[in-house]
Amino acid sequence: MKLTAGLLGCAVLASALAGCGSPTPSEPGTVVIRVQGMPPATDKPGLDGFKKTVADFEQQNPGIKVQGSTSVFDPLTFSAKLAGGKVEEVIKVPLTEPQGLIARKQVRPLTKELSGWAHYKEFNPQVLLPLSDPAGDVYGVPQAPFAQGLVYNRDLFTKAGLDPDKPPKTWDEVRTAAKTISDKTGKAGFVHQSKNNQGGWQLTMLAYTHGGEIEREEGGEYVAAFNADPVKKALTMLKEMRWTDDSMGDAQLNDQNDVIKRFAAGEIGMYMGTPGTYRLAKMTYGMEDTDAFGIGPLPQAGGNASLTGGDVYLVPKSVSPDKAAAAVKWLLFAYAQPQYDPATAASRAKELAADPKSAVGVPTLPMFDAAQQSKIDEAVLPYVNVKLEHFRPWLDGTPALTLRPEPPVQAQQVYAVLDTVVQAVLTNKDASVDDLLAKAETDVNTKLAAARQ
């Protein structure tokens, strides 16, 4: 009896373990792809729209079945899924990640598959640049390409006596506005992110706007380039805003989620971010007074540049060629076509607009050329439920800026080092910008040298 029970236990366990690895059954000859990017059940209009897109896609591509996944790229689960051979065929990642994934050869070049699309050559090169390797191979399709800007709280601007239709255009103006907001309202005038590599990421934006750079090529090798006047000026400005003006609030260890959460609660006057953060503020952090959301172009101090941002879709390298081909078809159908074809864009916008909790019409960078984007904008206009005029300064000011990608080599490791620099400036009154940058330069060059080996 005991023996029988034991054997039964083994059998149950064996079948359970076998079940772990078995794929979902499908008809012979059908390619099944699992794709990230499916909206969660709480976003009903988004989910309905996604399901309809899947149904339309499967109808047009009879040999392909699409299984949506609500998960998004998470370095923890991504590594575990890769190791276990369970990663989805399409992954959704923030634009800070593709270069690292490309360098580690964890994602698949898609140039060959993408170039089969009739409008491939019409892609805006600026939005493909962050998804490309130095040889020019393209690895994915962007969902909603953005350029970083200056997000600001229009209510706090009004309360502080500032003009909410004229956001600061230079960093000097930002400093003045931040101090005014802080003095008049008691809220943080400007907040800079500082942890989880996002301090380094935002310092990169500051560096670009001051005419600086993070890495430069020297004799065929990349070295740290931030220990120079532009970044020194940028950090000195942050230090003065923090300690002389006291206009950056008290809590300084923030990442993007912390900042947007506090902004949604009306606690922050300005931060560097994309129009896409509107969705996060409204749909994730429940910002009630969304009319207070305003965005202008990234302020400048001689650099005349901004950093790109947004989410992109990539295909892991472990995916088989037939599934990769199917994944590219899906990406073009679901994300590129609606940005190219006005009728598709209008139909998607109409479905989304059915729910007042959705955010329809948040402006993006043109995925193709400006003329095509105008047609798209016109088609979706009847369904737009965000105050477009509050995005107008960003829309008007961004085209004048050069869009620059992330540092090309070991960006995350470089950001980790620069996090420390930003944290020191924001938490230590006596921090020396020169000393911090000199040490960071040594550390980054050590990491870049190690990466070359």
Partner 1 sequence: MSAGTRTAPLPAGPAAGATPGLGRDAPRRSLFGRNALTALVFLIPALVVFGVFSWWPIVRGLLISFQQTNLIDPATWVGLENFRALFADPLLGTAIANTLLFVGLALLIGFPAPLVLAVVLSTVRRSAGVYRFLVYLPVVVPPVVAILLWKWFYDPGHGLFNGLLGLVGLGPYLWLDSPDTAMVSLVLQSTWAGMGGAVLIYLAAIVGVPSELYEAAQMDGASIWTRVWHITLPQLRPVIGLLLLMQLINTMQVFTEPYVFTGGGPENATLTVLLLIFRYAFQDGAYGQAAALSFLLAIILGLLSAVYLRATRSWSAA
CB of 325 to partner 1, least distance (A): 18
The answer to whether 195 contacts partner 1 (rule: CB under 8 A) is yes
β-bridge mates for residue 271, sequence order: 151, 191
- Amino acid symbol at 375: K
Smallest distance, Å, CB 113 to partner 1?
Answer: 18
**At 63, which amino acid appears?**
G
* Stretch 39-78 residues interacting with partner 1 (CB under 8 A): 75-76
Count residues near partner 1 (CB under 8 A): 47
Report the distance separating Cα 82 and Cα 78, nearest Å: 6
For residue 116, with 0-12 CB atoms within 10 Å meaning exposed, 13-18 middle and 19 or more buried, which class applies? Answer: exposed
123: left (phi over 0), alpha (psi -120 to 50) or beta: beta
User: Residue 133 Cβ, how far from partner 1 at the closest point, in Å?
Assistant: 15
- Smallest distance from partner 1 to CB 275, Å: 26
Give the dihedral sign, CA 390/46/68/72.
Answer: positive
Least CB distance from residue 416 to partner 1, whole Å?
Answer: 7
Under the criterion CB under 8 A, does residue 413 sit at the interface with partner 1? yes
CB of 413 to partner 1, least distance (A): 6
42 Cβ contact partners less than 8 Å away, ≥ 6 residues apart: none
Residue count (the chain): 453
> Does residue 317 interact with partner 1 by CB under 8 A?
yes
Least distance in angstroms from the C-beta of 439 to partner 1: 9
**Smallest separation (angstroms) from partner 1 to the CB of 445:** 12
DSSP bridge pairs for 272: 150
Is the Cβ of residue 194 or residue 337 nearer to partner 1 in the bound state? 194
Instruction: List helix spans (H) across 125-255.
Output: 125-128, 154-159, 171-185, 198-209, 229-239
- Three-state DSSP at 380 gives helix
Nearer to partner 1, 123 or 201 (CB): 201
Footprint of partner 1 on 95-114 (CB under 8 A): 100-101, 104-106
Site string for partner 1, 241-280 (x = CB under 8 A): --------xxxxx-x-------------------------
In the bound state with partner 1, the residue whose beta carbon lies nearer, of 7 and 343, is 7
- With 0-12 / 13-18 / 19 or more C-beta atoms within 10 angstroms meaning exposed / middle / buried, residue 140 is buried
- Residue 18 interacts with partner 1 (CB under 8 A): yes or no: no
**Interface stretch with partner 1, choices 147-155, 225-233, 372-380, 424-432 (CB under 8 A):** 424-432
Nearest residue (CB) to partner 1, 30 versus 428 = 428
Amino acid at 246: D
Q: Which of 176, 257, 385, 412 binds partner 1 (CB under 8 A)?
A: 412
* HEC secondary structure over 215-252: EEEECCEEEECCCCHHHHHHHHHHHHHHHHCCCCCCCC
Q: Which of 69, 284, 423, 445 binds partner 1 (CB under 8 A)?
A: 423
Asked if 7 interacts with partner 1 (CB under 8 A), we say yes
User: How crowded is residue 254: how many other Cβ atoms within 10 Å of its Cβ?
Assistant: 24
Given the rule CB under 8 A, which residues bind partner 1? 2-3, 5-7, 9-10, 13-14, 17, 75-76, 79, 82-83, 100-101, 104-106, 194-197, 249-253, 255, 316-318, 410, 412-413, 416, 419-420, 423-424, 426-428, 443, 446, 450
